[in-house]
Chain A
C-alpha cells in the first residue's frame, strides 16, 4: 500500500477532489499548510541579507491506495492540480506498512 501526498494550490482542491472521486477514491485528508519551494515565497533584502518573509498558503492532500493504483493516482492528481505556473506544488508517494480501520479493526487493503 502507498500513501500519496500532494501539496497543491488551495484553489485547485475542488478540482483534485473531483478527479480523485472520479477515479474511485473514497476518502482523503485535507490540511491547510504553508511553505515554499523553488518559488521561494516572497523575499526581501534587508541590509544586504536576503530574508524569507512569507510562506505561501498551500493545501496538503493525503490519500491511501493499493500499490498498483499509486502511479495512476499520482497522474490524476498532477493533471488536476496543474496550472503550468510556478508554485503548482508537488506530489509524492511513500510505502505504507499497516492500515487499520479504527471502527472495525479491519487491516490492510480491506481497511482502505
Chain B
C-alpha cells in the first residue's frame, strides 16, 4: 500500500519554513503548531492550526497581521490564535478541544523558550486535573460514537470522528500524556497510519477536506493507495479500526479506574456470581477462581451469555484466558447452544460482547464460516453495516421480536445466519441455506429445527419481495407463498426475520409502508395455512407409566430428570418446581400430564453452579412437599434477596389464550424472558383465577421461555366467559410484571420459584388451586 507519510512530512517542513520567514526575527514571540499540524500531519487540504505566542508585547497585532494575511491570501484554511502563555493555559483549562490541541504543540519559529513554557505548563495542567479531564475525554468519545458510529462496521465511515478512527488514537495519546496508560503501541501506530493515509488519499482524490469515505469515492481512493478496489480498502480500514477500538477501550478503562480509585478504596472489590465459573467484578465480567478454561469448552459462550444478560463487558484479561478453552465438540452440547441463544437473546447488549469475542477470534472458532463474512463490505445503497455487523444487529433486533414467534431460539439463529451465504459466490439465499444447515448440525440442533432454520435463511427475502412486487389480492400470489412456506411456524419466523433484517439494514430498508405490506401478505398467507397444533405434553415412558399405575406418591431423580407422581391436586406442578429451585436446580423443561387421577410431572433440570445437589435430599424434600409437610414458599422467601435489575432490555411478556387447540381445556400460552420464579408465579396466577392446570409443557429456549398450560375452570370445563378470559390474561401478565430478575444469595436461578411477594399472596388460595 502506498504511504503518504513522506508527502505529509515534506508539506509540514515547507509550511514551517514559510511561516518562519513570515515571522522573521522577533524577540519574545513564538509560532507554535498545534493539532494535526503540531503532529506533522498536514494532508493536502488540512487547515493550519497555528498559535502566535507572546510575552505581552503591545505591537503583537501588527506581527499577527504580517503572518495571517499572506496565509489567507494563499487560500490555505487557517485556524489561528494570539495568546500569552497564561492565556493559552487558561483557555485549555476551560475547553477540552484546546487542551488536546496543546498536547501536540510543536515549536515552529521564534523564541523556543516560550514554546517550551507553554508545552510544560499545558502538560502539567493536564496531569494535575487528569481525573476530570479524562472523564470529559471519555464523554466526548461516547458522544462521537453516538453521532458517527463505528468505523469498522459502516459502509461510509467517517475516518476521523467514528469510533476506531483517528480521534480515538489522539485520545489514547492524551490518556498516555496523563501517565495513566502506555502510549500507542506499534500495532496501533500502524493502524493509525493506514487510516491517515486513507484520509490523505481522500483529500487527494476529491480535492476537498473530507473525512467521510463515501461509496462513490471508495474505488478511486483505493487506487490512489495502490489497493485493488474499495472492498479491499474497507476491509483494511475495518481491521485497523478494530485495533484502535481495542486500545482506546483499554485506555479509557485505565482512566476510569484512576477516577474510581478514590471512591472504591473504601469498599473491597465485590465479586458477584453470574454463571458457573463467571463473576462480575468492578463492572466487568471475569472468570471465577474455580474456572478452568483449559478443560471447559462451553465456558466461552457461558461467560459471553452472562456478560450480555448482565449488560456488562468481558474484561480483556478474561477474553485472553477464554482463548485457552478447547474447541467445542461437534455436535455442540446442549449447554453451549443454550448459552449462545441466551447471548443473542440479550439484544443490543449482545452486539458489543459478540464484537469482543470476534476480536479474539473466538467467533470464527465457534462458527468457522463467519470468517467469510468478517469485515465484508456490501455495495448496496440500502445497507449501513458490513455483513458481520449486519448479522449481529439483525439478531439483536430479532431479540425484540421473540414474543411474536413460537420458536424464539430458531428466530435468533436464523437472524444470525440469514446473510452468512454472502461469503460465497452466487445467490446468498441459496448458499446461505447450505451453510446454515451445516452450522445448525454442528450446533447439534434436531433435524426438524435445522430444516426450519435453513428454510428461513433460504426464504428470508420472500415476504418483502412478494409484498412489494406482487398483487396481494391475487389468490395465486397467496397460494404460491403458502406453498413455499408450508407451515405457520415458518411463516411466523419469516415475518419476524424480515422485520429484524430490515431494521438492521438501515433506515431506507424498512419503514411503516413496507411493514404494512408485509403484514398484509402474512395475514393472507396465514389464513391459507393450517394452524400448527399446540405442543402437548410428551408421551410417558414405560417406567413412568408403571409408577403412575402403582398410584402411590413418588419422586425419583435420574440424572437430570426428576419425576414426581402423585394423586392429582391443584398446585402440584409449581410447588414441585419450587422445591427444585430451593435446591438451586434450574428447570429447563417440564411435562405435566395425568393418567386417571394420577398426575405425572417430569422435569429436566440443571444445576445452576457446579455439581448437582444430592439426589436423596431432593427426593426427601419432594416427598415432604407431597405430604404437605414442607412450606416451599417460606423457604424461598427466606432465600429471596433484593432484586438486581438485569442489564439487558427484554421485550414484554405475552399471554395468549388458544381455543381451538383442545376440546376439553383452554390453552394458555405464555412467552416471556426467563427469570427466577416464572413457573411459580404463572402457576399461582392461574390458581388465583380459580383454574386447574390439567397438563403443561414448559420449555426454556436459551433465555426465552415458552410455556403451554392446558387449564380448566372450577367445573373442569374450558374457559367460557369473556370476563374470565380477560381476567386470566391480566393476572398472568400482572404476575409476570412483578418478575424483576431476582438473584438469591447472588445465584441466578433459571426457571423456578423466587420469593413471592407476601403483600399480594393469599397462601390458602395459592395452596388449593393449580
Instruction: Please tell me if the beta carbons of B469 and A10 are within 8 angstroms of each other in the complex.
Output: yes
Q: Give residues in B with beta carbon < 8 Å to A.
A: 468-473, 511-514, 516-517, 520
Report how far A87 CA is from B514 CA in the complex, Å: 17
Chain A, residues 60-94, CB within 8 Å of chain B (1/0): the string is: 00000000000000000000000101010000000
Are B473 and A83 in contact, CB atoms less than 8 angstroms apart?
yes
Are B471 and A34 in contact, CB atoms less than 8 angstroms apart?
no
Determine if A46 is an interface residue (Cβ-Cβ < 8 Å). Answer: no
23 example contacts (A-B, Cβ-Cβ < 8 A) are as follows A10-B468, A10-B469, A10-B517, A11-B468, A11-B469, A11-B470, A11-B472, A13-B469, A14-B469, A32-B511, A32-B513, A32-B514, A33-B513, A34-B513, A54-B516, A55-B516, A57-B513, A57-B514, A57-B516, A57-B517, A57-B520, A85-B473, A87-B473
* B471 and A83 within 8 A (CB): yes
Return A87 CB to nearest CB of chain B, in Å: 8
Tell me which residues across on chain B come within 8 A of A14, comparing CB atoms. 469
Assembled-state Cα–Cα distance A33/B511 (Å): 11
Contacts of B516 in A (CB 8 A): 34, 54-57
A-B pairs, 4 with minimum CB distance = A32-B513, A57-B517, A11-B470, A57-B516
Given A11-B468, A32-B511, A85-B473; 13 other pairs, CB 8 A cutoff: A10-B468, A11-B470, A11-B471, A11-B472, A14-B469, A32-B513, A33-B513, A34-B512, A55-B516, A57-B513, A57-B516, A57-B517, A57-B520
Cβ-closest chain B residue relative to A55: B516
A47–B691 Cα distance when bound, in Å, is 33
Q: A-B pairs with CB below 8 Å: how many?
A: 31
Q: Once bound together, how far apart are the Cα atoms of A57 and B470, in whole Å?
A: 13
Q: Give the residues in chain A near B511, CB-CB below 8 Å.
A: 32
Chain B residue numbers with a CB within 8 Å of A11 are: 468-472
Cα A54 to Cα B513 in complex, Å, equals 11
Specify the main secondary structure of chain A where it touches its partner.
Answer: mixed
Whose C-beta in chain A lies nearest to the C-beta of B472? A11
The residue on B at minimum CB distance from A58 is B513
**A17–chain B nearest beta-carbon distance, Å:** 11
CB distance from B228 to the nearest CB of A (A): 31
Q: B residues within 8 A CB of A34?
A: 512-513, 516
Q: In the complex, how many angstroms separate the beta carbon of B507 from the nearest chain A beta carbon?
A: 13
Q: A57 to B468, alpha carbons, bound, how many Å?
A: 9
Alpha-carbon distance A87/B473, docked complex (angstroms): 10
Q: What is the CB-to-nearest-CB distance from B465 to chain A, in angstroms, rounded to a whole number?
A: 10
A9:B469 contact, CB within 8 angstroms: no
| Interface of chain A residues 1 through 53 with chain B (CB within 8 A) | 9-14, 32-34
Q: Separation in Å of the A67 CB from the closest CB of chain B? A: 33
Instruction: Give CA–CA (A14, B471) in the complex, Å.
Output: 12
State the Cβ distance, B17 to closest chain A Cβ, in Å.
42
Taken together as a complex, chains A and B put the C-alpha atoms of A49 and B287 apart, in Å, by 63
Give Cα A32 to B510, complex, Å. 11
Q: Of all chain B residues, which has the CB nearest A87?
A: B473
Chain A residue at minimal CB-CB distance from B473: A85
CB neighbours of B470 from chain A (8 A): 11
Separation of A35 and B511 alpha carbons in the complex (Å): 15
Contacts of B520 in A (CB 8 A): 57
Q: How far, in whole Å, are A105 and B470 apart by their CA atoms in the complex?
A: 40
Across the two chains, which residue of chain B brings its CB closest to A54?
Answer: B516
- The residue in chain B whose Cβ has the minimal distance to the Cβ of A33 is B513
| Alpha-carbon gap, A57 to B515, bound state (A) | 10
Instruction: Find out whether the CB atom of A9 lies under 8 angstroms from the CB atom of B471.
Output: yes
- A13: chain B residues at CB < 8 Å are 469
Q: B512 CB to closest chain A CB, in angstroms?
A: 8
Question: Chain A residues near B513 (CB, 8 Å)?
Answer: 32-34, 57
Min C-beta distance of B82 to chain A, whole Å: 43
Question: Which residues on the B side are within 8 Å of A57 (C-beta)?
Answer: 513-514, 516-517, 520
Smallest beta-carbon distance A57→chain B, Å = 5
Q: What is the minimal beta-carbon distance from A11 to any residue of chain B, in angstroms?
A: 5
Which residues of B lie under 8 Å from residue A85 when comparing CB positions? 473
> Cβ of A12: which chain B residues have Cβ within 8 Å of it?
471
Alpha-carbon separation in the docked complex, A83 to B469 (Å): 14
Q: Collect the chain B residues with CB atoms within 8 Å of residue A55's CB.
A: 516
Complex Cα distance, B514 from A89, in Å, reads: 18
A13 CA to B471 CA in the complex, in Å?
11
Which of A9, A54, A55, A57 neighbours the largest number of chain B CB atoms within 10 Å of its CB? A57
How far does the Cβ of B757 sit from chain A's closest Cβ, in whole Å? 37
The docked-state distance in angstroms from the alpha carbon of A85 to that of B511 is 26
Q: How far is the CB of B719 from chain A (nearest CB, A)?
A: 26
Cα distance, A94 to B511, chains bound together (Å) = 30
A83's nearest neighbour on chain B, judged by CB, is B471
With A and B bound together, what is the CA distance between A9 and B470 in angstroms?
A: 9
Residue in chain A with minimal CB distance to B474: A83
